[in-house]
Chain A
C-alpha cells in the first residue's frame, strides 16, 4: 500500500481537487452530498498521507523522489517532481488531520449558509493545493501550488462577497501577498538561471544538493532573500503582515484552516525546505540571509504580541497571535533550529486551529458577535467550548510539561539562547512569552468569565458536529507533547534524521523553571489587570479597557495597529495613486492625440480609394451581374420542380452512357 501511494503521489492532491470539481458541478441545494463528498475526499487524503508517512518512520532520513518531465522547449526539458521526506510527511499528516477536523466543524458552522456547496468546493480546492505544495519536489511546482493556495485564500476570504469589508479584505490579502510572491518569483528565476534546475532533489543534481549549491556562489544570499520575500508575504511577517488580520473577514473555519494552521505556515515551510540555500557558506551558523530572517522574525513576534493586547475582536486577537507565533518560528529557523521551528509549526497548527474553531463556536453561540467586550460569562453556558479553549490558551501561552506548545517554545528558546551573533533575540522572545500569556488571559477573562453581557444573553452550546472536532484537536494538542519532550525528542530526531533515545533526566531543564516563572508572571499580570473587567454593567459593553485607563496614548497606538495601515496608505498607496493619475493624463492628452493623427491619414487614404472603387470597379461588376442574371433566367426554365422528371432525365442519361460504352466495345 505504501509503495503504491509513493508511486502515485500525485493522487494525494488530485483527490481533493477532483472532489472540488465534482462539488462545483453540483446543484446549489445539495448540501448533504457536498459535505459528504468533501469529508470523504479529506478522509481519502488522510489515509493516503498516512500510508505515505509510514515508510518515513522505518528508515531515518528517508527520502523518496519521483520526477517527471512537464514539457520540453528546445533541447531543454522542464522537469517537475514529487517528494516525500520527514518534513513533507509530517506536514501531510498535520494538514489532513487538522483539515478533517475543520471540514467536519464546517458542516455544522456553515449549515445555514446558502452558498454551502461553493464553500466546500473552495475548501477542498484549498486542501488539494496545500497538499500539492508540501509534496512538490520542484520550486516551480511549489510556486504553482503556492499561487493556487493564494487563490483559494482569496476566494474564501471574500466568501461573503456581499460585505464590502470582506471584498476589500480579499483584495488586500491578494495584493499584499502578491508583492511577496513577486520577490519569490524573481528569486526562482535567478535560481534557475544560476543552477539550471528547479528540482530540489534529483539524484545529486538538484538545486538543494551539492552540485546545485556550488553553482550558486555569492548570489545565494540574494536568492535566499528573494525567496524569503515570498515567505514574508504568505506568513505575514513584519512589513507584509497587514493582510492577515483583515483576512478574518472570511468564515471562521477558513481562518482556522488557512490563516492559522496551514497556509500561513507555508512561508515557514518554504524557508525550511530551502534551508540549504539560506545556510550556504555559513560561518559559525550565521549568514546574512539568516540574520535577516531572525530580525524580521523578532520584530514581527514582538510587534504582533503588543498589538494583540489592545484588540477587541476575538478573531483579530488570534490573528495577531498567529503572526507573533510565525515570527517565533522564523526566529527559530534563522538561528539554526529548523527542527524546533517545524515542531512549533506542527504544534501551532493543532492548537491554533483549536483556538480558532473555539472562537468559531463562541461566535456561533453568540449569534455572529465577534467583539469580546460584548461577551462574558460563557463559562457555564458553553462548557465544552470553554474547556477546550482553555487547553488551547494554555498551549499557546506555553505552559510547560503538559502542553505541546510549552515544549516547542522551550526548544526555540534553547536554540535562540545559543545563537552566536546576538543575545537580544532571546530576551525579546522571553518578553514575548509574557505578552502572550497576558493577551490570552485578557481574552479568556473577557469571553468566559464575569457576567453575561449584551451578546451572551442567549448564548448556547454548539452542536455535536462542532464540538467533536474541538475535543479531537484538544486531545491532539495535549498528546502531541509526548513526541516533543527532551526526554524522548522523537520528532526532533525524526526531522533531523538521527536515532531517538530516551533519557528521563533531560526532562528537567533550567529553562523549564524560567518559562514556568514567565508564563506565571504573564497570567498573574493578566488576572491582576483585568480582574474588574468581567464585572460590569449588564446591558452595556465593557467599553473602557483597564489598559486604556492607565495608558491611553499607548493603548490608542496599539489599538490602531501601530498606524501601519495608515502609513502604507500615506506612502505606498498614495504613490501608486499619483503614478496612475499621471499615466491617465499622459494617455488622454499625449498618446491619444498621436493615435488620432495616424487615424486622420488613414481616413484620407480611404476617401481616395472609395473614389476609385465607385468610378472604376463598380460599373464593371454591375455589367457582369446583369449578364449573369439573364443567363440564370434562361437556365431556370429547365427546372420543372417535378422530381420524377429529374429522375427520368438521370435514367435516360444512364441509358445513353450504357449505349455509348456498348458502342465503344
Chain B
C-alpha cells in the first residue's frame, strides 16, 4: 500500500495545529518561538509533499521553496531569540502576559 497525498497533508495539518497550540497556550516566549518553528516545518512538509505528488517540474520548485524557507526560518529564530534575550534583560521576564507595554 502506498500513501496518498492526503496522508501527508493530514500529518502536516496536525503538526501545524500542535505548533499553534504551543504558540497560543504557553506563556513563555521561547515556547511561542518553538510553536512558530513547528508551524513552519509543517508548511515545508506541505511544499515538499505537493512537489512530490504534483507534476514534475524543472527546477523542483517545492524543494527549492522548502530550502529557502528553512534558511529564512533560521534567520527568524536567531533574531527572535535575540529579542527574547533583550526583552529578558530589560523586563526580567519572558512571560508574554507581562509584556503588554503596547496596550492601547
Interface on A for B, CB 8 Å cutoff? 635-644, 647-648, 651
Contacts and interface: CB of A to CB of B under 8 A. Distances in A.
A644 B99 CA distance: 11
A512 B46 CA distance: 102
Nearest 10 Cβ contacts at the A-B interface: A636-B104, A641-B100, A639-B104, A641-B103, A641-B102, A643-B96, A644-B24, A642-B100, A637-B104, A647-B23
A220 B32 CA distance: 86
A640 B103 contact: yes
Given A637-B104, A639-B104, A641-B104, A648 B24 contact: yes
A639 B32 CA distance: 19
B101 to A, nearest CB: 6
B104 A642 contact: no
B24 A647 contact: yes
Interface of B: 20, 23-24, 27, 32, 96-97, 99-104
Contact of B101 (A635, A636, A641): A641
Contacts of A647: 23-24
A651 B24 contact: yes
A644 to B, nearest CB: 6
Contacts of B102: 639, 641
Most chain B beta-carbon contacts within 10 A, residue among A638, A642, A651: A642
A639 B104 CA distance: 5
Nearest to A643: B96
Nearest to B97: A642
Chain B binding surface SS class:
loop
Contacts of A642: 96-97, 100
Name the residue in A637, A640, A644 with the highest tally of chain B Cβ atoms < 10 Å from its Cβ: A644
Contacts of B103: 639-641
B84 to A, nearest CB: 12
A644 B25 CA distance: 8
Contacts of A639: 102-104
A644 B96 CA distance: 8
Contact of B20 (A638, A640, A651): A651
A83 B61 CA distance: 57
A640 B100 contact: yes
Contacts of A635: 104
Contacts of A640: 100, 103-104
A630 to B, nearest CB: 14
B99 A641 contact: yes
B101 A644 contact: no
Contacts of A651: 20, 24
A647 B97 CA distance: 13
Contacts of B104: 635-641
9 contacts: A636-B104, A640-B100, A641-B100, A643-B99, A644-B23, A644-B27, A644-B32, A644-B96, A647-B24
Nearest to A639: B104
Given A640-B100, A641-B100, 14 more contacts: A635-B104, A636-B104, A637-B104, A638-B104, A639-B103, A639-B104, A641-B102, A641-B103, A643-B99, A644-B24, A644-B27, A644-B32, A647-B23, A648-B24
A556 B11 CA distance: 109
Nearest to A633: B104
A350 to B, nearest CB: 67
A637 B102 CA distance: 11
Contacts of B100: 640-642
B92 to A, nearest CB: 18
User: Which interface residue of A637, A639, A647 has the most chain B CB atoms within 10 A?
Assistant: A647
Nearest to B103: A641
Nearest to B20: A651
Nearest to A651: B20
Nearest to B27: A644
Nearest to B102: A641
A162 B98 CA distance: 66
A444 B13 CA distance: 102
A641 B99 CA distance: 7
A651 B39 CA distance: 12
A640 B98 CA distance: 11
A643 B101 CA distance: 11
Nearest to B96: A643
A175 B96 CA distance: 73
A638 B104 CA distance: 7
Interface centre among B27, B32, B97, B104 (most CB of A within 10 A): B104
Contacts of B23: 644, 647
B10 to A, nearest CB: 15
A636 B27 CA distance: 23
Contacts of A636: 104
Contacts of B27: 644
